[in-house]
């Protein structure tokens, strides 16, 4: 089965909040990127599961899939069995990624897809643990950048040394290449994204922002700046 046939035949592996079948698959562009990039000897990692898992299997990758949704894994297994798609090179870990990844023994990876939990801080943890196993020249796919967590991770990596944005699908996903080995976790001032948005104590920006927020809190609470400094409301006496 090729990718076009798979997309036409794609079943809903996921369910919504009411447990009704629903497709939450990665976009066609992401699936096409994976299909075009992955070679049969590649070692790949995915947080989340779905049609992308089937694409990795079709490409013959040595693939690791981490998802807490056991029912989704069973649907993927049933679908692949009915279509003659081998899953012998796919390893499923049915657990939340933040519990699995820190102690999971992995080979050097060629591609990592972050498409599991999207609540804070899950995508950042998936990136941290997955990216350090990714080889230089390997690909990182961040899905769902229309969500705040995915967008922040995308914006962080655009500015971070050692990563180059290779492709982007507007309001959906970003594809990065790792161009340097992951250093020891740097401090905030060595991360351009964090540094540019920070206002450390002792700087003019910190003083101005602190004063502005103090005044704004007082106005919102119906208190004037003098009331903030004189909370009892008593006038200063000068005897």
- Neighbouring C-beta atoms of residue 16, cutoff 10 Å: 10
CA 42 – CA 204 distance, rounded (Å):
50
Each residue's pLDDT tens digit, 17-37: 665 666 667 889 999 999 999
Q: What is the pLDDT of residue 9?
A: 85
From residue 91, alpha-carbon distances to 46, 87, 207 in Å are 10, 8, 53
From residue 14, alpha-carbon distances to 11, 18, 195 in Å are 9, 11, 39
Each residue's pLDDT tens digit, 84-127: 999 999 999 999 999 999 999 999 999 999 999 999 999 999 99
Spans in the chain with pLDDT lower than 70 = 14-24, 221-239
What CATH code would you report for 3-187?
Answer: 3.40.50.150
Q: What is the pLDDT of residue 239?
A: 46
Helix (H) or strand (E) holding 170: none
* Radius of gyration of the chain from its Cα atoms, rounded to whole angstroms: 24
């Amino acid at each position: 089965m090729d990718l076009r046939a798979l997309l036409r035949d794609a079943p809903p592996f996921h369910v919504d909040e009411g447990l009704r079948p629903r497709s939450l698959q990665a976009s066609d562009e992401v699936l096409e990127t994976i299909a075009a990039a992955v070679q049969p000897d590649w070692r790949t990692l995915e947080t989340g599961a779905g049609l992308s898992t089937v694409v990795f299997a079709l490409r013959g990758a040595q693939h690791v899939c981490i998802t807490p949704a056991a029912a989704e894994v069973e649907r993927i297994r049933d679908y692949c069995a009915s279509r003659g798609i081998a899953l012998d090179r796919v390893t499923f870990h049915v657990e939340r990624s933040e519990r699995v990844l820190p102690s999971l023994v992995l080979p050097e990876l060629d591609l990592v897809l972050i498409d599991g939990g999207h609540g804070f801080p899950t995508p950042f943890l998936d990136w941290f643990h997955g990216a350090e196993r990714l080889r230089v020249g390997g690909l990182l796919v961040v899905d769902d950048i229309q969500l705040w967590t995915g967008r922040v991770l995308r914006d962080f990596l655009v500015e971070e040394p050692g990563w180059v944005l290779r492709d982007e699908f507007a309001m959906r996903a970003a594809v990065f290449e790792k161009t340097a080995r992951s250093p020891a976790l740097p401090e905030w001032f060595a991360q351009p994204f964090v540094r540019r948005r920070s206002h450390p104590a002792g700087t003019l920006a910190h003083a101005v922002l602190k004063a502005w927020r103090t005044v704004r809190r007082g106005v919102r609470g119906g208190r004037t700046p003098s009331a903030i400094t004189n909370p009892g409301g008593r006038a200063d006496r000068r005897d």
